[in-house]
Amino acid sequence: MWLYALAALAALFLLRRWYRERQTVPGLPEKFVLITGCDSGFGNLLARQLDARGLRVLAACQSEEGAERLRAAASPRLQTLLLDVTSSPSIAAAAAWVKERVGDRGLWGLVNNAGTGTPSAPNEWLSKEDFLKVINVNLIGLIEVTLSVLPLVRRARGRVVNVASVMGRVSFFGGGYCISKFGVEAFSDSLRLEMRNFGVKVSIIEPGYFQTNITNGENIQKHFLAVWEKLPEEIKADYGEGYLKHFLESFRTMKDVCSPNLALVTGCMEHALTSRYPRCRYAAGWDAKLLYIPLSYAPTALSDRLFAKHQPLPARRA
């Protein structure tokens, strides 16, 4: 009897959630959305996706070539700007540009999508500067962009969508990437609580492995080898050539484990921007839903044992 009652309650809960999440906000064609990192990948696809839906897209690109390609693929409504998220003057200029265009209506949506993943290597191989190259883009840049346009988002009672990662839940490789994504999670959580009474909703996107520039095996391999070449000979000897070759081989096969369906991620972003009841977190991809997110709740001993199986043995152990 109790089992049937619980099943009925669960069904009602899921039905209510399904109904609520399919309600969209009114007046989408009048709403402005700023997206960072639109040269390629998630940002580029989302910009075209929202443009096709009639929203007023302000697409921030890192290069003029990327901006030109995006304009050629979109409607005249879409506007582009150049933005370096590691440069305070560039961010300030972009915020002024956005304010001029949105006027009193404010900015409905900010999607912090710009990101980088290299250099990535065992922590001992990296310098402080190597960590900062990633953290300055993925975390500090994200924070500064958000703060620069937050008054405009508050005016519109709009949305902030921050792209984190499943690597912001579990961390099993070195460098600044996982650190920065853990930071994105923390910043987003505190911002969501602070903005709640202003009517602003903050969502986190947690993608699994997808085929983007960040997961480009050749690019990762190039940066990995550059880090290896700078190491002292003593450290190279301790880790050994076999350690290096293990990672280089994994980079060559990375494409095989990354999903090409970027729409799984941009669909989550679009829902966060257009639904009347967006989620606080979106896990995108089956690997995120069935492996990494569950592992983030598992005992540390269990997740460590699983990830340790994929770590090569060094040449010398103390």
Question: Which amino acids are annotated catalytic?
Answer: 177
**Which class for 134: exposed (0-12), middle (13-18), buried (19 or more C-beta within 10 A)?**
buried
The phi and psi torsions of 59 (rounded to 5 degrees) equal -100, 115
- The secondary structure of 232-295 as a DSSP string is -HHHHHHH-HHHHHHHHHHHHTHHHHSBS-THHHHHHHHHHHHBSS--SEEEESHHIIIIIHHH
d(CA 240, CA 53): 53
Which residue bears the tokens 């609580």?
Answer: 193
Q: How far apart are CA 44 and CA 37, in angstroms?
A: 7
Phi-psi domain of 25 (left: phi exceeds 0; alpha: psi -120 through 50; beta: other): beta
